[in-house]
Amino acid sequence: MRQGTDSVTSYYTKMKDLMNELDVLAPISCCDCEESRTSVEHVKYQRVLQFLMGLKENYRNVRSNILAWRLVVTINEAYAIVSQEESQRTLGVVDTHKNPLTMLVGRAQGIKPKGTQLIC
C-alpha cells in the first residue's frame, strides 16, 4: 500500500483498517511467553516499516530519522510523528528542501526586535 495522493491521516487509517482485517484473519498470538513475544514484536516492527515505506518520497527525511532511532517505535508513534510533520508543512513551518535549523535562521533575517539590533 502507498500513500499516493492521500493525506497522512487517510493513508494511516486505510493501513490500520487493513491491519485490523489481517488480525481477524490471522490473529497475532496473545500468549505472553518469550517465544511469542519475539514474533509479536517482529510483526509490529514489520507494520511500522510498511507504514513508513509507503509514505510519499518527500517524507524520506522523517522516515530516515525514525528508522535511525535505537528504540523501535510503534506504528501509532510513527504516525504521530509523520502527522505532525504534515501539519507543520501545511502551516508553512517546514520547507521540505531545507534543514529545519537553516529555516529558522532564514526566517529571522527580516525581523528586528524593538530596542536592540540583535538578530537570532
pLDDT tens per residue across span 8-26: 999 999 999 999 999 899 8
Distance CA(14)–CA(82), nearest Å, equals 15
pLDDT for the residue 7:
93
Whether pTM > 0.75 for this model: the answer is no
Of residues 1 and 31, the one with the higher pLDDT is 1
Cell of 42: 517482529
pLDDT for the residue 73:
84
Task: DSSP for 24-56, please give it.
Answer: HHSPPP---SHHHHHHHHHHHHHHHHHHHHTS-
